[in-house]
Structure 1
Amino acid sequence: MNNGKRVLIALIVLAVASFWLLGADQWLTLEALKENRQALTFWIGEHRTLALLAYTLTYVLVTSLSLPGAAVLTLAGGALFGNLLGLLAVSLASTVGACVAFLVARFLLRDTLRARYRDTVARIDRGIERDGAFYLATLRLVPVFPFFLVNLVMGLTGMRLWTYAWVSWLAMLPGTFVYVNAGTQLGQVEAPGDIVSGGLLLSFALLGLFPLLARALVAWLRRRRVYAGWRRPRVFDYNLIVIGAGSAGLVSAYIAAAVKAKVALIERQRMGGDCLNTGCVPSKALIRSARVADTLRHADRYGLASVPVQGSFRTVMERVQAVIRQVEPHDSPERYRALGVDCLAGEASFVTPWEVEVRAADGSCRRLTARSIILATGGRPAMPPIPGLADMAPLTSDTVWSLREPPGRLLVLGGGPIGCELAQAFARLGSQVIQVERADRLLSREDSDVSTLVMHQFQADGIDLRLNCTATEFRLEQGEKVAYCEQDGQCLRIPFDEVLVALGRVGNTQGLALERIGLEPRANGTLPVNEDLSLRYPHVFACGDVAGPYQFTHAAAHQAWYAAVNGLFGQFRRFRVDYRVMPWVTFTSPEVARVGLSEEEARARGVPYEVTRYDLDDLDRAIADGEARGFVKVLTVPGRDRILGAVVVGAQAGAILAEFTLAMTHGLGLNRLLATIHPYPTWGEAAKYAAGEWKRAHAPQRLLRWLERFHGWRRGGPAHPGSE
């Protein structure tokens, strides 16, 4: 911290301390204003210019330091100076004070708070980027946040001071007028009968109605601004059109049909999306086969003779397809048509914000209109621009299911969940797997102790881990596929038979003609959604992988409820999507399941926490199953049992995590988990035993020592060991 910041902080602390020590807060109350109004009015009449200057400086000081009393000072402006002069003084002083607070926050707090509250600041930055000055005007007209908080938070953004000043002045003007006018009427209360005067009642009515009127005004202005140049249809074909029939689209259509809305579901490929056809369902079927192979290979752990795994890789992959076919009816057009959904096959593109064109496989087109539209077009694997990679016919999580012969040498690019799940599955099914990861460990979003346990198992499975390693070029040399990688400054040559690219996913937005309605995806293909999942237009929504930030099937289904309900009933009430408790599982062996904060995230955000750990080698069921490895780690508020996050590493980790997810969702602490009866012997007991570890660490030691003496006295012996 430089000297300038130290001096400024010292001055602020001195000013705030003086405010409280001198009892200034007692003067800035409605009671004090009414008691001293006559004396103040008389003095102002004698020293009008000086009074205005003192009042303005006081107002600037209070607002710039975010001290209490700004509302009373605004009323005082009307009571002491009248409507016009009071309005001018308050408007000037509040704007100057807001700008000072803005600059102080930018100078003192910007770097620290942007890091600590990055999600909030990022959300506001997106609002400013999208709507510019109109976003600030919205906050001023309809105070979602207190004004002093707006001053501080806006200082953390990239907004220019001049823009902040004039927008704040203009947007605060209507509210300032309402408060100043209320102050002028308040100043006229001389007797109880004056309270029921028409002017005073009107002023208080305006005071109460202003937030509602301002909200309606902002909504009207936004609609006019957004929909300028478009003509809204007078009659619609549907209440809701859903584009994409993956998890998000299916749930959206299901909800709409359940409340008897007329809904169309458009899918250009296969119903069920990635989850059914190329993601969750096939990958978990493959992982199950791989785990069975590993069990047979190590049957001696269970008192049986280990056997070499024999079987056809083709048969394994055909089983994967059979599982898909068995699940497929759950997501079929027949099922959804029976629910009342119009299922349409074709590629949808926007014509207007309310109208889409659907092009079928035979080239025929039809146009449909709807009051609301949901984009649920999912995502696809990202393909990095590495020289020569495209010539290798790379596999992805979308295309790997076409294999019918096992790769002898499989190169896996990426150490995230998808890369890890598939790398381990292929290794257990007999492939020689080389896994390349640019970070220094796998699953870098998890804590290092989690990654370490997974990496030890990968090495035991024979996977060749290449960490701190980046693929730079691919070549075909004498008929052999070769990858060149950079690792710790050295160039590695890695020959392989197939390469699987698992370096993240990008949103699917191609072919939608978003440019026609002024929508632009982010660099990763996802769409910039608002907190209610709407896009630029309040009636157009996005959910699932195309929206982010979580690209999980259950996250897509979670978002779909908000998109569908807001799309159908958003004119009456809108819901902000709730991400406070979002669990996820990586289905490696051991499984990795997490909800809430990890230790590294808590440290990065400056969140105080305690750690409680329970090792699964103590769990009877884990010992009986031959899976006595892993741990449960719970983060709690220091000294309290409120859960901030939990991670489970081990067999059945996903099932164990459900109890912590339920507890966090409904505000249940570890004491409640400890008090819950768990059947024995089950994996779920791990949650209870973790809660027990927390309880032991927070046992009241002084009370226990007194109880020890009490029980000794009850036995008639020494009060405690060692006493006479």
Structure 2
Amino acid sequence: MHPPAAESPPGDATPEPEPQGGGWRKLLLLAAIVLAVALFFGFGLQRQLTLEGLQRAQGSLLAWRQAAPLQSALAYMGVYVVVTALSLPGAAVLTLAGGALFGLGLGTLLVSFASSAGALLAFLLARTLLRDLVQRRFGRQLAPIEAGVARDGVLYLLTLRLAPVFPFFLVNLLMALTPMRAGAFYLTSQIGMLPGTLVYVNAGTQLARLKGLGGILSPPLLLSFALLAAFPWLARAATSRWATWRLYRRWSRPRRFDRNLIVIGAGAAGLVTSYIAATVKARVTLIEAEAMGGDCLNTGCVPSKALIASARLAARMRRADRWGLEPVEPRLSVRQVFERVAAKVEAVAPHDSVERYEGLGVEVIRGHARLVDPWTVAITRADGELRLTSRAIVLATGAAPVLPDLPGTDQVPLLSSETIWTYLRTCPQERPRLVVLGGGPIGCELSQALAQLGLPVTLIQRSGRLLRREDADVAEDVRRALEADGVQVLTRTEVLGFAADGEGAARVLVEHEGQARTLACDAVLCALGRRARLQGYGLEELGIPTGATITTNAYLQTLYPNIYAAGDVAGPFQFTHTAAHQAWYAAVNALFGGVRRFRADYRVIPRTTFTDPEVATVGLTEAEAAAQQIPVEVTRFPLHELDRAIVESAERGFVKVLTAPGKDTILGATIVAEHAGELLAEVVLAMRWKLGLSRLFSTVHAYPTFSEANKYAAGVWKKARAPRRLLGWLERWFRWRRGGG
């Protein structure tokens, strides 16, 4: 969870400044480096560090070496360290000098430690001078690279060091910009540069016969280095194969498989996974124990949006004077509204039906699936158990609502987002009183919709505000909207337990701002989040690690590389669109992973809370940027300045865009408006394909439309960055032109 935005600095705040004097120290260090480099070239030392120069001076250097062995060795190492640390030309010649002056054994020892120390100094200098600057400008873009270096950096560096064709000074610089630890950098460099050092030092022992540096590395020798550089990766692959063999050795692998893919769970992730597999002509079986379509179709997205549509119309009837009509209190039948909701679910159901998917080529089996081994699934059906084997398995078992473990839960009607639909269709009260626990998206959406239908609703939130993932200003707008529709919102409220009052009603015992209270209601709706369905699928028997969700890698593989997880059961999101997004990766990796694998991409994930007005967000919020110390600039465009919003009396809300300082790169956006989910799509597209606000501003939008709000937000950004000095000169020029000049 992210901390509340109210407790964080403003979104456009910059990271904490360096301690006083830090900037001057960097400037002094940079000045010292520039001076040293200037002196090196000014005195013509680069002409001495050539093969010809070394050959000319070989006699005098050998005499010095014999006269002062310790001093010459220390001086040699000191020069080598300086040249390497400052990335000056001549390191290769100095390596040859090590062989010529000190022989193969001692020369290799001196060069090995001097080159590694010099590389470490170059690494530290580059990190001190450049890393903060690079992070401020490109930190977000470099995040995937840094994650890769954190995972494989040592192997990658070792490969570069073992292949002398890569300029070592460039390796030092690039590695300094990553999070690699200095100790790991030094040790890996010491080991990785040793083979190349041996070759050059050995060549230096034959200095008089060398015709040029190019002759040292012959094609066969370069090939040997290339094979040597590949060795760490080959060793890693062999180690991985050995670990896989140990993982699977206690299981008996089938000689033949019944299916190419088995998918467990027919929610959004399972349906899309099986659809993709059937499209590429794989033999796929989809297993579902309950209703096709999962939570989204039956108890989530579809029924809730059908309910919200009815509720919005009722709210507008009460406020018809905003559109120049006579306000009217709608004659509502809650039961009739929920009959409509059920009818809409039935209307959408054929899209997710057994018949449709069987027509697409998917085998659908109704029953409960359980993993027997990494390739075998046991399916419990009404007519007995069926066992099928498959090369790959995808777990898409979804999630279930979280219910509170508090005293008295058995004494009150405790509803969830799954059971409220049946309750409100059959409850005896015409307008039951509801207490909703949880101020997240589900709690806010249902509370407002039920209140707009005329039901008495009290929303309880433990923390100080609603929608904790959103910025504080957004959460406050939503709270005002809920209260305007009749929802009683109680924040900073702890639920202590439940009790029945003896007359068929319920009581919720709470502590609100330090005071004990009792809330009377007919039912309690729990909107406390959802928990991944992990039990009863054989995960424990196979030892597949789980936490809040099934543990997977970047390719959605579980402990067993042929078993994948997607959707709510895999996390980290619980959205239908991310479940479908993950399904593509799970299907393609499961079917074609031996040829090509794809990492699941979560860089641009939108979300929408369907309150009235809606809240739609993608990328960073102001609170997240502040918490992560990411500098941003914030641009706002209020909807009350948009013509289409004005004529439709939909002026509530705004568009807020976060950009990189001094650039039009979109880092995040939040839209509070009617149709915010639709408006956000353009911003999501821009972020996905790296189109900045300038491109968005130059795109023609139809007038008058809500989508113009995005263009106008981009216009606000451009206006704030108008060239003031140039405009001042233009004003003077036009004034002169009016004077007849």
The alignment's TM-score, normalised by the length of structure 2, stands at: 0.80
Say whether 1:490 aligns with 2:533.
no
Q: For 2:593, give the aligned amino acid.
A: G
Q: Name the counterpart of 2:689.
A: 666
CA distance in 1, matches of 2:271, 2:46: 56
Q: CA deviation at 1:567?
A: 2.1
Q: CA deviation at 1:68?
A: 6.9
Q: Name the counterpart of 2:259.
A: 238
Q: For 2:685, give the aligned amino acid.
A: L
Which secondary structure state, in structure 1, belongs to the residue aligned with residue 384 of structure 2? Answer: coil
CA contact (8 A) 2:51 2:212 kept: no
Q: CA deviation at 1:505?
A: 1.7
CA contact (8 A) 1:345 1:360 kept: yes
Q: Name the counterpart of 1:440.
A: 464
CA contact (8 A) 1:616 1:631 kept: yes
Q: CA deviation at 1:699?
A: 1.7
Q: CA deviation at 1:435?
A: 0.6
Q: Which runs of 5+ in 1 are unaligned?
A: 129-133, 720-724
CA distance in 2, matches of 1:520, 1:276: 29
CA distance in 1, matches of 2:30, 2:330: 75
Q: CA deviation at 1:620?
A: 1.4
Q: Name the counterpart of 2:246.
A: 228
Q: CA deviation at 1:22?
A: 2.6
The alignment's TM-score, normalised by the length of structure 1, stands at: 0.82
Structure 1 residue corresponding to 2:529, chosen from 484, 499, 504: 504
CA contact (8 A) 1:381 1:398 kept: yes
Which secondary structure state, in structure 1, belongs to the residue aligned with residue 435 of structure 2? Answer: strand
Structure 1 residue corresponding to 2:281, chosen from 260, 266, 274: 260
Which secondary structure state, in structure 1, belongs to the residue aligned with residue 415 of structure 2? Answer: coil
CA distance in 2, matches of 1:692, 1:262: 52
CA contact (8 A) 1:77 1:180 kept: yes
Q: How does 1:591-602 map to 2 (within 5 A)?
A: 591-602=614-625
Q: CA deviation at 1:295?
A: 1.5
Residues 1:142 and 1:278: Cα distance change in structure 2 (over 3 Å): farther
Q: CA deviation at 1:362?
A: 3.5
Percent identity of equivalent pairs? 45
Q: Name the counterpart of 1:309.
A: 330
Residues 1:293 and 1:20: Cα distance change in structure 2 (over 3 Å): same
Which secondary structure state, in structure 2, belongs to the residue aligned with residue 686 of structure 1? Answer: helix
Structure 1 residue corresponding to 2:237, chosen from 190, 202, 219: 219
Residues 1:140 and 1:489: Cα distance change in structure 2 (over 3 Å): farther
CA contact (8 A) 1:469 1:486 kept: yes
CA contact (8 A) 1:441 1:467 kept: yes
CA contact (8 A) 1:59 1:70 kept: no
Q: How does 1:124-135 map to 2 (within 5 A)?
A: none
CA contact (8 A) 1:78 1:180 kept: no
Structure 2 residue corresponding to 1:409, chosen from 386, 410, 433: 433
Q: How does 1:38-77 map to 2 (within 5 A)?
A: 42=61, 46=66
Q: CA deviation at 1:687?
A: 1.0
CA distance in 1, matches of 2:494, 2:47: 67
Say whether 1:649 aligns with 2:666.
no
Q: Name the counterpart of 1:471.
A: 495
Q: Name the counterpart of 1:349.
A: 370
Aligned length: 688
CA distance in 2, matches of 1:8, 1:125: 28
Q: Name the counterpart of 1:286.
A: 307
CA contact (8 A) 1:583 1:596 kept: yes
CA contact (8 A) 1:251 1:560 kept: yes
Greater Cα radius of gyration, structure 1 or 2: 2
CA contact (8 A) 1:139 1:150 kept: no
- The runs of at least 4 consecutive aligned structure 1 residues that moved more than 6 Å come to 5-17, 24-31, 47-63, 70-79, 82-102, 116-128, 134-137, 142-156, 171-174
Q: CA deviation at 1:220?
A: 2.6
Say whether 1:392 aligns with 2:412.
yes
Q: Which stretch shows the higher mean deviation, 74-83 or 512-521?
A: 74-83
Residues 1:434 and 1:696: Cα distance change in structure 2 (over 3 Å): same
CA distance in 2, matches of 1:316, 1:619: 34
- Higher-RCO chain (CA-CA 8 Å, sequence separation at least 6): 2
Which secondary structure state, in structure 2, belongs to the residue aligned with residue 364 of structure 1? Answer: strand
CA distance in 2, matches of 1:633, 1:649: 9
Q: Name the counterpart of 1:452.
A: 476
Residues 1:519 and 1:618: Cα distance change in structure 2 (over 3 Å): same
Q: Name the counterpart of 1:180.
A: 197
Q: For 2:537, give the aligned amino acid.
A: L
Q: For 1:583, give the aligned amino acid.
A: P
Q: Name the counterpart of 2:635.
A: 612
Residues 1:512 and 1:475: Cα distance change in structure 2 (over 3 Å): same
CA distance in 2, matches of 1:146, 1:535: 35
Which secondary structure state, in structure 2, belongs to the residue aligned with residue 23 of structure 1? Answer: helix
Q: For 1:259, give the aligned amino acid.
A: V
Q: CA deviation at 1:557?
A: 1.4
CA contact (8 A) 1:79 1:183 kept: no
CA distance in 1, matches of 2:593, 2:632: 38
CA contact (8 A) 1:74 1:90 kept: no
Structure 2 residue corresponding to 1:335, chosen from 337, 356, 372: 356
Q: For 1:549, give the aligned amino acid.
A: P
CA contact (8 A) 1:275 1:553 kept: yes
Q: For 2:670, give the aligned amino acid.
A: V
Q: Which runs of 5+ in 2 are unaligned?
A: 1-18, 162-169
Q: For 1:23, give the aligned amino acid.
A: V
Residues 1:517 and 1:463: Cα distance change in structure 2 (over 3 Å): same
CA distance in 2, matches of 1:276, 1:671: 39
CA distance in 2, matches of 1:292, 1:192: 89
Residues 1:329 and 1:676: Cα distance change in structure 2 (over 3 Å): same
Residues 1:357 and 1:125: Cα distance change in structure 2 (over 3 Å): farther
Q: CA deviation at 1:257?
A: 2.1
CA distance in 1, matches of 2:262, 2:590: 10
CA contact (8 A) 1:40 1:80 kept: no
CA contact (8 A) 2:104 2:202 kept: no
Q: CA deviation at 1:203?
A: 3.4
Say whether 1:628 aligns with 2:651.
yes
Say whether 1:205 aligns with 2:219.
no
CA distance in 2, matches of 1:473, 1:71: 76
Which secondary structure state, in structure 1, belongs to the residue aligned with residue 388 of structure 2? Answer: strand
Q: CA deviation at 1:594?
A: 1.0
Residues 1:339 and 1:54: Cα distance change in structure 2 (over 3 Å): farther
Q: How does 1:412-423 map to 2 (within 5 A)?
A: 412-423=436-447
CA distance in 2, matches of 1:305, 1:118: 53
CA distance in 1, matches of 2:97, 2:336: 86
Q: How does 1:24-39 map to 2 (within 5 A)?
A: 32=49
Q: Name the Cα RMSD after superposition.
A: 4.4
CA distance in 2, matches of 1:62, 1:254: 61
Q: CA deviation at 1:408?
A: 2.1
Residues 1:423 and 1:60: Cα distance change in structure 2 (over 3 Å): farther
CA distance in 1, matches of 2:584, 2:533: 20
Residues 1:61 and 1:76: Cα distance change in structure 2 (over 3 Å): closer
Residues 1:22 and 1:267: Cα distance change in structure 2 (over 3 Å): same
How far does the alpha carbon of each residue in 1:372-403 deviate from its partner, in whole angstroms, 9 at most, with x for none? 32222221222333333354342111222212
